[in-house]
Amino acid sequence: MTKKSAPSNAILWARFRFSVIGPLLSAPPPRGELKAAIRSLAEKVWTHPITAAL
């Protein structure tokens, strides 16, 4: 049996970035509302992908 290693920091950051931007890619906001959608994302509190700190 092989032991799984923890994901690298690069992988953790990539997953984090995708979790932030993924919803915009899968369901783009209506024309003219992208700025508001990005501001909404910027106002959220996110968990740091490496340290798990808020």
* Predicted local confidence at residue 2, as pLDDT: 73
Which among 4, 34, 52 is positioned nearest to 16, based on CA atoms?
52
Whole-structure pTM value = 0.78
Q: Rounded distance, CA 14 to CA 3, Å?
A: 23
* Predicted local confidence at residue 4, as pLDDT: 84
Lookup: tokens for 49: 């992908």
Q: Rounded distance, CA 35 to CA 45, Å?
A: 18
Note the pLDDT tens digit of each residue in 7-54: 999 999 999 999 999 999 999 999 999 999 999 999 999 999 999 998
Q: What angle do CA 28, 12, 29 make, to 5 degrees?
A: 5
